[in-house]
Structure 1
């Protein structure tokens, strides 16, 4: 009986102990469940925040992509409209006709001016010779009189009268020619004035005026600031860009006729390696490095379009009739490459790795489909498809080259010497000595214009009339010792 009581007590105690332990376990489980519920709520809040952030990122990306797409579509529409309206606008047709007539009239005027100068100089020389002859005859007559040679004096006097009559006739003819030249000059000026006042939409220039003047003797220099150029004056602009400068510089504009200097406020960049201009689309091609790429931009905007990435070039030239851009490539390899004016179909046409230094300025013979360039020590040529590579000349510091396609004459530099070569026989002759070593040069209306280095200046040589080099402008830019130039028609 006692054993049963002990067993009952033992069972009761065991039940109580189990009940207490189970209660503690339930409390612990409930506490863990509460903690898990709190962590779940925190995780849900974090998830909502992340979802909101993702939505914001997606909205920003959509806005950025939409703006970029609008820019791309705007550029493509502008290019398409420019191509569609090319040559179709009535204003363009009228402006082209007026510019053509103006050019012919000015050429005739300058030709008559040169003829008038030649006639005046010939008249002066003839008068000087007549005066000398007159004095010699009088001296002979005086000596004859002293020697009582009356017959000789009469004969010399008669001969003098005949010569003087001939001189009077010649002088009368020359004066008549001069009057005709002056009348023709007045007619030309009147027609030019009428054409300038014709109802043609003016082509505005984006340049802002600055004052500058030439520092060395040359042709007459005008220091008048340029605000808006007439169509004919637009035909004589030179764009000046700094080469390799790590500092941003505004591009300059030099008007050839007035020799006035101005700046493009929107064209402000650094690390420029080459420039070229496409007249049909009115776009400037710019080769830059760091990063290496080829850009396109209008003259009146700061917006640029990247045509090619990973390409570094020291020379760009355009065959506008065929829509081809030729590039003196430094990176990704030493070669001559080509692409379309939109940057498509990029291809290397000839590898120049084994020919020494990199190619610099390029020039084209579009009739014969040949490319000419210098690499610092040699002058080369090759066809458009990379065939027939030939070395035409050798020298030192040979960087600049340009071609007179009509005359078939190639101009290039050897140190400071301006050389010319007839492409039919590859015979070179020296033209003159320049004021500085040229880095780039262009030929325009019988005059060579060049941008130099050390010192930085824009010089000129009239290769058709007077082969004396003179300085148009000395250009000072901080950290710049090389100048690039190209013609802006």
Structure 2
């Protein structure tokens, strides 16, 4: 039994020794794994540093490449700008040289006219002398009744009359030729003035580069109307053409004669030159003295010289409730609802039709529109809001909200904006955009215009109302009594300065 116990003890000791050896080997293996992990971590750090260096190098190369690309694009843009400036300089030089040529021809025509006048005066003097000679001969013949003397004097008289007839014919021919030359010079001068105004518009504006404006400029010169331009240069403004307001009945399915309010005496008369139906709005071009008339059914925009019945088509398929003109730029801005709801611009000849901003996402179609030609800003109402933005469609801002907001006008001198909110006339200072109430009107304004401190407005009613409000001195009474135009529905007013 003791031997068996000893054998067990020996076996257990042998097992313990083996376990200790295995434990030592395990510990050594763990130390080895720990060293390998440390080395792997060091390798990973080195790889990470290498990747970061590669990324930094790629970023640097991309920055350099991007800078070179931007530099090339800037150079191309600058070259295009230089080309555009070269084109504008070329247009200027051609216009200036053309004006010099016309002036030279005009002065030459004046010299020829003076020469013809002197020749005519000399001829008249010679004719008077000849008449005196004839009278003397008649007196002499009365004293000496001889047939030979009568025959000789009769022959000489016939010769003098033939010479006089030839001189008169030549003078008439020279006079007609000078009149034709005068008309030609006046027409060329009007064309060059029109081209000069359009070139200034393309310099100041943002309506296209040099490559796109050249055909439009050529077409503008080709389509200039000689009779209208000649009349505008030669015909002085009559007294009754100044300081008046034209009134059109809009949305009328039957023809309605335009009305005219004479501001110097407050009288209302019939404007005899237009009798139209389906009128949406009207505007006035100061430079060319033309009316712009927007119609519906069918939708189109017409142009007519002031105080004439002749009209020409500018645009087809365009429906608008409001137009405003910047005569300095030669641009017409419109709030249109057809073919799409937007603020759109075009030239005064109906060309360069361009959408400034698509306003369909901002509510109903635009109504009346007015311009700040100094700051190049647009203001308009759309029944629920009053908006403003730049000529290029930037900085769109909502200035006021409400209901039945149709009319807006601007006092550029005082930097004050007037707009309607239902029957209430509101005043807003442009710098602060703070609105205050001016007056409660008897009727709801449809559109309005400001002239010498007085707002003239039209309103919705069965018998059209043309009202006035003196906004210079609010405490004073109206400068003119409001007038009702029987048979008119929803008038639209247009100032003709």
TM-score by length of structure 2 reads: 0.53
Q: Is the 8 A contact 2:282 2:494 kept in 1?
A: yes
Return closer, same or farther for 1:278/1:355 CA change in 2, 3 Å cut-off.
same
Partner of 1:34: none
1:424-435 pair list within 5 angstroms: 424-435=431-442
Offset at residue 465 of structure 1 (A): 1.7
* Deviation readout 1:314-354 (Å, 9 max, x if unpaired): 00110000000001101000000000000000011100111
Offset at residue 446 of structure 1 (A): 0.7
Partner of 1:64: none
Q: Partners in 2 of 1:311 and 1:84 — Cα distance?
A: 30
1:47-446 pair list within 5 angstroms: 79-80=225-226, 82=228, 89=233, 201=236, 203=238, 230=239, 234-446=241-453
Offset at residue 403 of structure 1 (A): 0.2
Which structure shows the higher helix fraction? 2
Quick one: higher RCO (CA 8 Å, sep 6+), 1 or 2?
A: 1
Q: Is the 8 A contact 2:260 2:270 kept in 1?
A: yes
Q: Which runs of 5+ in 2 are unaligned?
A: 1-218
Q: Is the 8 A contact 1:79 1:281 kept in 2?
A: no
- 1:473 counterpart = 2:483: yes
Question: SS in structure 2 opposite 1:466?
Answer: coil
Q: Is the 8 A contact 1:268 1:302 kept in 2?
A: no
Q: Partners in 1 of 2:230 and 2:332 — Cα distance?
A: 21
Offset at residue 413 of structure 1 (A): 0.6
Offset at residue 453 of structure 1 (A): 1.1
Aligned residues: 275
Q: Is the 8 A contact 1:264 1:299 kept in 2?
A: no
* Deviation readout 1:165-206 (Å, 9 max, x if unpaired): xxxxxxxxxxxxxxxxxxxxxxxxxxxxxxxxxxxx562xxx
CA RMSD of aligned residues (A): 2.2
Q: Which runs of 5+ in 1 are unaligned?
A: 1-72, 93-200, 204-229
Q: Partners in 1 of 2:370 and 2:445 — Cα distance?
A: 15
Question: SS in structure 1 opposite 2:225?
Answer: helix
Q: Is the 8 A contact 2:246 2:495 kept in 1?
A: yes
* Deviation readout 1:249-298 (Å, 9 max, x if unpaired): 01000012211111122201100001000111111001111100110012
Q: Is the 8 A contact 1:267 1:299 kept in 2?
A: no
Offset at residue 82 of structure 1 (A): 4.9
Offset at residue 80 of structure 1 (A): 4.5
Q: Partners in 2 of 1:453 and 1:261 — Cα distance?
A: 19
Q: Partners in 2 of 1:241 and 1:292 — Cα distance?
A: 17
Q: Partners in 2 of 1:82 and 1:435 — Cα distance?
A: 42
Q: Is the 8 A contact 1:259 1:472 kept in 2?
A: no
TM-score by length of structure 1 reads: 0.54
Return closer, same or farther for 1:448/1:272 CA change in 2, 3 Å cut-off.
same
Question: SS in structure 2 opposite 1:328?
Answer: strand
Q: Partners in 1 of 2:259 and 2:304 — Cα distance?
A: 15
Q: Is the 8 A contact 2:228 2:305 kept in 1?
A: no
